[in-house]
């Protein structure tokens, strides 16, 4: 390597160094601290690293039925939320891609829910969904449907939070998928039309293959964020009724700040991190393979 | 054998208020190599795409084999289209690209394999079958694009500037291949290009377009020697044509062309005071002894094309430019004044008001 | 030039020094906070100390406080402490003892209701807090419906007793049944059955009303008693039979709105809601709601106390604030605006009694209110109650299982805290 290349490299390092340092402090350090904490009996009342208990917190967490229940609830929630947001988002993106006039207007309107703070989203929807005073039951009354107990019935509550999350987040999918669709060249479609492909065949043989990396990345990102859903539960159901909507982030939060057992909570967080890594890994590998 | 294979009747295309193709009509006979030639934006590609069904017709009709196909889907017209950028399916390998249209038609695998065999032998792309388009060179992609259209056995092949993305060397090779391919297949080729060399060398007939309108249709030599308008005269030139302006004076049954300083006899020019005229560079000679007329010029530019020199000169009395070609043995220097010779029969005259040739 | 600059510099020095203390505190977004905010200029004028409040919802306060409390020098100079947190803060040693400051300035703490000093005043023998405002729970009922003669005769005909302000629990249950008319969208009761806080607090009243209790002096759980079972069955029946759809998930605001829009006869809630009922911007039953003690054997007490964190950057200035905000005149002015006082002298004040006719009732309410179990794991236990009660209400488990679970976990947590 000659001098110019060496200088370039050094310059590159300096450029990247501030970001790396900040990221290490803000992201890596807390993770490491959390992992360390999980091996101790560390509570908010007795904040000391005197009590090393090894994997005890982990054993307790795994044996904890409520933790397992929350994990199950979360996985179910994430599955449906990501699935529906993807399907609906993709459909809307396809439709939007064919619109030429006023596209920006539709885009902006669809974007608005995503721009709203999640806490505000939760509060707005709680208002809408009030069984006696909310507008939703009022409107469905016009078509003869009985008022629905949106958040008071365990099954309904679960479906309702899925629905509210979709309302809030679907435009995230739309943005990413639309960007992917917009970058597909027009010509293969024309060749396909001449070759005799109908709309469905064009979608299957041209759109989907082109979209594969975008789809994977979009699903990946949304999956990771969905696993962390917290605000919605905190505002709308507090995990209830019963524990029907007790998502894992909310459960871990309560263990830490109400149960005051940080060590235990840390172990649960590490387990969650582990699960997330396992889910992401195959997708990650697929992505780097698909890039070639 | 003179059946009208494909007919366009007053076909017009408007994009909102913009007329891109204006009242275009022509008849193509079986097995023609019909070339639409014109500058960018003249409407030639749009016309081709309307024939394919990739663009809707605003008005007019398209007939193929006596059937009105004006409103049919591309796939029902049974034409093949070769795109300028090849438009290969990037996620399929060459074999899949070639078989796509056949699979859609539910042709049996055996027949598909036969066709692929035939086409890859014909175009010499057999070793590329398992590669993806991103692993092919420009020329190879072009052949695959061609191959994709060949497997279909269509009634006509539509090619949209297929050679414009290739380098010069490859282009010459491919021209030859296309010509022999067309002859071998005995099919109608409708071809779009802005390159007049391609048009001259490949066409049975050239159709010149500008600003959405047809200017002239005819076999290459005819269009070259007898252009209908200044535009055609200028466009069909390699590398350039001389178009000059002159005042003319009617003197005793002879017309004096002021710019050239010569008198000629031409009944058609009698009542005019000004005229455009053209003379091709290759019809201007250094030796003037056996030519009708002469003209004095000053050399202002010499371009060495390797096999010959392209000279730019200025008329002594007029300062309009005149281009001519000489062999490289001639040692003429910049700034020198020479006398050139030419024949009156090589002059073509054009009306000042409408740019059309005075016949 | 030099003199001009030195004058300027010394002026800045003095101004910086004079206003060098700004007290900061986290405060809850409730009316009592607003009343104090309006009076703050008075404090700054008297002492020259600025005060800045960070006002937020209940749920955000604890997470905001804890990091500051665990630091050696925190961000907050004084803080309101919810009775939930007293056990935890005490165990962690986050509150400064006020005994010396009280003695030095001869601050009179006998003015406070005993139950409130026990809740958010003393822990053991040491005074750590001054009670700030109370949120004892009471029953709000539609007195206009009680006073209606048609209702009175119909009620008497059906139940054989007079329709009046209820003082017995069974009497109240009858009234709830009587007034429920679901077809016309009117409910005998609206419950705040939402998870954790609302349902735990509300149900505690039912427990006390039936004469039940959480634990005995030795912290043995008493939730598996007959009274507790009756109380839970009452609650389930209220929500299922006499309450509006969705009460299982109502927070105190949502339940309030149902009552404030005139759709419910009764609502068991925090006593300071009375002000909101009488605010025409929020309610359409202005003047129609009466606040009474929970019928039966007493309702749930609740309060906040003023405390100085051990990590307070300015403890002396903080104590000045505490003295000011809990001085008799300021306490009276806060009560005048509608604040929920914690002092007997406020409730005996003739001017205030002239203004608020619910004062005698409220005084009695405070005198009879019972306390929730206060220990390190109070919030955790509230969570437990929230889950178990919620499950019982929606039918996922039966009442006795819920009570057995609650009892077991209460004893576990008490043991963890060293109480038994």
CATH class for the region spanning B4-235: alpha beta
**Torsions phi, psi of A290, nearest 5?**
-65, -20
Residues of B in contact with A190 (CB under 8 A): 54, 81, 83, 87
Residue numbers in chain C where pLDDT is lower than 50: 18
Whether residue C116 is found in the same domain as residue C188 = no
Give which of C225, C188, C231, C227 is closest to C206, Cα–Cα. Answer: C231
Full domain range(s) for residue C66: 23-135+302-368
- Domain contains C1: no
- Domain contains A15: no
C172: domain CATH number? 3.40.190.10
| Partner-chain contact A205 B89, CB within 8 Å | yes
Confidence of residue B127 (pLDDT cuts 50, 70, 90): very high
| Partner-chain contact A196 B52, CB within 8 Å | no
- Domain contains A114: yes
Whether residue C291 is found in the same domain as residue C312 = no
pLDDT tens digits along B203-249: 999 999 999 999 999 999 999 999 999 999 999 998 899 999 999 98
Rg value, chain B, Cα: 25
Residues of B in contact with A210 (CB under 8 A): 90-91
Size of interface A-C (CB pairs under 8 A): 97
Taking a C-beta distance cutoff of 8 angstroms, is the pair C292, C166 a contact? yes
Q: What is the Cα A175 distance to its own chain's centre?
A: 15
Whether residue C393 is found in the same domain as residue C261 = yes
Percent of chain A topping pLDDT 90: 50
The whole-model pTM stands at 0.79
Is residue A188 less than 8 Å (CB to CB) from chain B?
yes
Supply the DSSP string of A108-161, one letter for each residue: HHHHHHHHS-HHHHHHHHHHHH-TTT-HHHHHHHHTTPPPP-TTTSHHHHHHHH
Confidence of residue A4 (pLDDT cuts 50, 70, 90): confident
pLDDT tens digits along A252-288: 988 888 888 889 999 999 998 898 888 888 877 876 7
pLDDT value at residue C33: 92
**Is the pLDDT at A53 greater than 90, yes or no?**
no
pLDDT tens digits along B33-48: 999 999 999 999 999 9
| Partner-chain contact A192 B89, CB within 8 Å | yes
DSSP run (H or E) holding B61: strand B59-64
Q: Which two tokens stand for residue B71?
A: 């409103």
Residues of C in contact with A148 (CB under 8 A): 245
Question: How far is it, in rounded angstroms, from Cα B225 to Cα B347?
Answer: 11
ipTM field? 0.81
**Is the pLDDT at A125 greater than 90, yes or no?**
yes
| Partner-chain contact A191 B104, CB within 8 Å | no
| Partner-chain contact A132 C245, CB within 8 Å | yes
Taking a C-beta distance cutoff of 8 angstroms, is the pair B141, B133 a contact? yes
Rg value, chain A, Cα: 24
Percent of chain B topping pLDDT 70: 99
Residue B318's Cβ-side half-sphere holds a number of Cα atoms within 13 Å equal to 18
Gap from C392 CA to chain A (nearest CA, Å): 8
Supply the DSSP string of C60-108, one letter for each residue: HHHHHHHHHHHSSS-S-S-EEEEHHHHHHHHHHT-B---HHHHHHHT--
Question: How far is it, in rounded angstroms, from Cα C189 to Cα C258?
Answer: 10
Question: How far is it, in rounded angstroms, from Cα A205 to Cα A207?
Answer: 6
Q: Which two tokens stand for residue B150?
A: 């060949």
What is the residue-averaged pLDDT of chain A? 89
Whether residue C181 is found in the same domain as residue C156 = yes
- Neighbors of chain B by Cβ distance (3+ pairs < 8 Å): A
Q: Which two tokens stand for residue C359?
A: 């004062």
Gap from C276 CA to chain A (nearest CA, Å): 18
pLDDT tens digits along B129-178: 999 999 999 889 999 999 999 998 899 999 999 998 888 888 998 999 99
- Domain contains C11: no
- Look up the CATH superfamily of B242-350: Nucleic acid-binding proteins (2.40.50.140)
- A-facing residues of C in 40-99 (CB < 8 A) are 59, 62-63, 66, 70, 88, 91-92
Would strands C303-307 and C130-134 be described as parallel, antiparallel, or unpaired? antiparallel
Residues of C in contact with A69 (CB under 8 A): none
Full domain range(s) for residue A277: 64-290
Cα dihedral sign, C41-C43-C44-C46: positive
Whether residue C228 is found in the same domain as residue C356 = no
Residues of A in contact with B85 (CB under 8 A): 185, 187
Gap from A147 CA to chain C (nearest CA, Å): 8
- Domain contains C67: yes
A268: domain CATH number? 1.10.3720.10
Q: Where are the domains of chain B?
A: 4-235, 242-350
Whether residue C353 is found in the same domain as residue C276 = no
Q: For chain C, give percent helix, strand, coil, nearest 5.
A: 55, 15, 30
DSSP run (H or E) holding A220: helix A208-227
- Domain contains A25: no
Question: How far is it, in rounded angstroms, from Cα C84 to Cα C166?
Answer: 30
Whether residue C170 is found in the same domain as residue C274 = yes
How many distinct structural domains can be found in chain A?
A: 1
Residues of A in contact with C261 (CB under 8 A): 132-133
How many distinct structural domains can be found in chain C?
A: 2
Supply the DSSP string of B250-282, one letter for each residue: EETTEEEETTTTEEE--GGGTT-SEEEEEE-GG
Within 10 angstroms of residue A242's Cβ, the number of other Cβ atoms is 23
- Domain contains A193: yes
pLDDT value at residue B182: 92
Q: What Å distances lie between residue B308 and B5, B283, B305, B331, C412, CA to CA?
A: 43, 15, 5, 12, 105
Q: What is the DSSP code (8-state) at residue B188?
A: E
Taking a C-beta distance cutoff of 8 angstroms, is the pair B311, B326 a contact? yes
Confidence of residue B1 (pLDDT cuts 50, 70, 90): very low
Cα-based angle A200, A202, A208 (whole degrees, multiple of 5): 95
Cα-based angle C331, C337, C343 (whole degrees, multiple of 5): 30
pLDDT tens digits along B78-115: 899 999 999 999 999 999 999 999 999 898 999 999 99
Percent of chain A topping pLDDT 70: 98
Which of B52, B85, B105 lies closest to A196 in CB terms? B105
Q: Which two tokens stand for residue A266?
A: 């840390």
Partnered with residue C26 across adjacent β-strands are C54
């Amino acid at each position: 390597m000659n001098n110019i290349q060496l200088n370039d490299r050094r310059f590159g390092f300096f450029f990247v160094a501030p970001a790396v340092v900040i990221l290490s402090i803000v992201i890596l350090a807390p993770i490491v601290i959390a992992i360390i904490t999980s091996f101790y009996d560390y509570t908010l009342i007795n904040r000391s690293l005197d009590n090393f208990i090894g994997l005890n917190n982990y054993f307790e967490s795994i044996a904890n039925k409520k933790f397992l229940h929350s994990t199950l609830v979360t996985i179910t929630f994430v599955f449906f939320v990501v699935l529906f947001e993807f399907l609906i988002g993709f459909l809307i993106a396809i439709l939007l891609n064919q619109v030429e006039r006023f596209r920006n207007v539709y885009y902006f309107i669809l974007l608005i829910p995503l721009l709203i703070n999640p806490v505000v989203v939760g509060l707005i929807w709680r208002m809408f969904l009030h069984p006696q005073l909310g507008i939703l039951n009022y409107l469905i009354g016009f078509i003869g449907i009985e008022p629905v107990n949106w958040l008071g019935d365990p099954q309904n509550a679960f479906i309702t939070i899925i629905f509210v999350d979709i309302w809030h987040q679907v435009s995230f999918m739309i943005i990413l998928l639309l960007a992917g669709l917009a970058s597909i060249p027009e010509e293969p479609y024309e060749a396909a039309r001449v070759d005799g492909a109908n709309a469905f065949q064009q979608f299957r043989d041209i759109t989907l293959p082109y979209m594969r990396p975008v789809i994977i990345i979009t699903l990946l990102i949304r999956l990771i964020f969905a696993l962390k859903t917290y605000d919605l539960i905190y505002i709308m159901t507090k995990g209830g009724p019963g524990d029907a909507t007790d998502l894992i982030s909310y459960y871990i939060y309560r263990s830490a700040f109400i149960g005051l057992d940080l060590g235990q909570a840390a172990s649960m967080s590490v387990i969650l991190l582990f699960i997330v890594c396992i889910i992401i890994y195959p997708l990650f590998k697929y992505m780097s393979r698909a890039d070639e | 054998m003179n059946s009208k294979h494909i007919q366009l009747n007053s076909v017009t295309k408007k994009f909102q208020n913009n007329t891109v193709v204006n009242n275009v009509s022509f008849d193509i006979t079986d097995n023609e190599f019909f070339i639409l030639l014109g500058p960018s934006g003249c409407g030639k590609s749009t016309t081709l795409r309307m024939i394919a069904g990739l663009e809707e017709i605003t008005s007019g009709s398209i007939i193929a084999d006596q059937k009105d196909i004006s409103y049919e889907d591309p796939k029902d017209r049974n034409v093949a289209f070769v795109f300028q950028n090849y438009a290969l399916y990037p996620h399929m390998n060459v074999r899949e690209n070639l078989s796509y249209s056949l699979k859609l038609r539910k042709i049996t695998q055996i027949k598909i394999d036969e066709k692929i065999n035939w086409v890859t032998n014909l175009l010499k792309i057999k070793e590329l079958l398992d590669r993806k388009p991103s692993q092919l060179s420009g020329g190879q992609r072009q052949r695959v694009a061609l191959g994709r259209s060949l497997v279909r056995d269509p009634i006509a092949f539509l090619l949209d500037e297929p050679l414009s993305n290739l380098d010069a060397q490859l282009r010459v090779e491919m021209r030859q291949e296309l010509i022999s391919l067309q002859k071998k297949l005995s099919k109608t080729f409708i071809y779009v290009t802005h390159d007049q060399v391609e048009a001259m060398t490949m066409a049975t007939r050239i159709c010149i377009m500008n600003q959405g309108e047809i200017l002239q249709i005819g076999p290459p030599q005819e269009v070259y020697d007898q252009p209908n308008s200044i535009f055609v005269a200028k466009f069909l030139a390699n590398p350039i044509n001389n178009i000059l302006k002159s005042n003319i004076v009617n003197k005793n049954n002879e017309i004096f062309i002021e710019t050239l300083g010569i008198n000629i006899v031409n009944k058609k020019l009698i009542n005019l005071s000004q005229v455009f005229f053209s003379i091709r560079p290759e019809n201007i000679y250094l030796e003037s002894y056996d030519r009708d007329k002469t003209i004095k010029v000053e050399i202002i530019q010499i371009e060495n094309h390797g096999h010959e020199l392209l000279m730019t000169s200025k008329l002594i009395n007029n300062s309009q430019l005149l281009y001519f070609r000489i062999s490289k043995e001639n040692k003429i220097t910049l700034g020198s004044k020479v006398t050139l010779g030419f024949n009156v029969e090589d002059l073509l005259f054009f009306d000042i008001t409408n740019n059309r040739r005075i016949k | 030039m030099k003199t001009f600059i030195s004058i300027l510099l010394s002026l800045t020095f003095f101004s910086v020094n004079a206003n060098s203390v700004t007290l900061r505190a986290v405060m809850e977004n409730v009316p009592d906070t607003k009343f104090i905010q309006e009076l703050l200029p008075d404090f700054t004028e008297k002492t020259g100390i600025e005060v800045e409040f960070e006002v937020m919802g209940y749920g955000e306060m604890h997470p905001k406080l804890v990091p500051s409390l665990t630091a050696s020098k925190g961000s907050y100079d004084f803080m309101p402490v919810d009775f939930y947190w007293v056990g935890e803060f005490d165990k962690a040693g986050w509150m400064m003892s006020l005994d010396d400051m009280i003695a030095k300035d001869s601050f009179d703490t006998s003015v406070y209701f005993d139950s409130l000093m026990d809740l958010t005043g003393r822990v053991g023998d040491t005074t750590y807090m001054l009670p700030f405002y109370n949120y004892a729970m009471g029953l709000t009922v539609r007195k206009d419906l009680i006073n209606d003669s048609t209702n009175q005769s119909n009620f008497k005909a059906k139940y054989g007793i007079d329709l009046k302000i209820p003082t017995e629990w069974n009497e109240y249950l009858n009234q709830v049944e009587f007034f429920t008319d679901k077809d016309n969208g009117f409910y005998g009761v609206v419950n705040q059955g939402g998870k954790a806080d609302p349902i735990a607090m509300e149900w505690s009243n039912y427990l006390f009303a039936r004469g039940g209790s959480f634990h005995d002096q030795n912290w043995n759980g008493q939730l598996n008693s007959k009274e507790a079972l009756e109380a839970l069955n009452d609650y389930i029946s209220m929500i299922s039979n006499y309450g509006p759809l969705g009460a299982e998930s109502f927070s105190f605001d949502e339940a309030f709105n149902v009552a404030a829009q005139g759709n419910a006869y009764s609502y068991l809630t925090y006593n300071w809601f009375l002000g909101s009922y009488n605010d025409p911007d929020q309610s359409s039953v202005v003047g129609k709601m009466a606040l009474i003690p929970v019928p039966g054997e007493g309702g749930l007490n609740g309060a906040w106390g003023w405390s100085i964190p051990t990590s307070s950057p300015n403890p002396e200035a903080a104590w000045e604030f505490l003295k000011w905000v809990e001085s008799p005149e300021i306490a009276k002015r806060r009560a005048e605006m509608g604040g929920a006082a914690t002092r007997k002298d406020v409730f005996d004040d003739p001017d205030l009694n002239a203004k608020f006719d619910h004062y005698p009732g409220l005084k009695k309410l405070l005198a009879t209110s019972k306390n929730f179990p206060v220990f390190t794991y109070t919030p955790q236990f509230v969570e437990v109650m929230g889950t178990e009660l919620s499950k019982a209400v929606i039918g996922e488990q039966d009442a006795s299982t819920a009570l057995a679970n609650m009892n077991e976990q209460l004893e576990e947590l008490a043991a963890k805290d060293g109480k038994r």
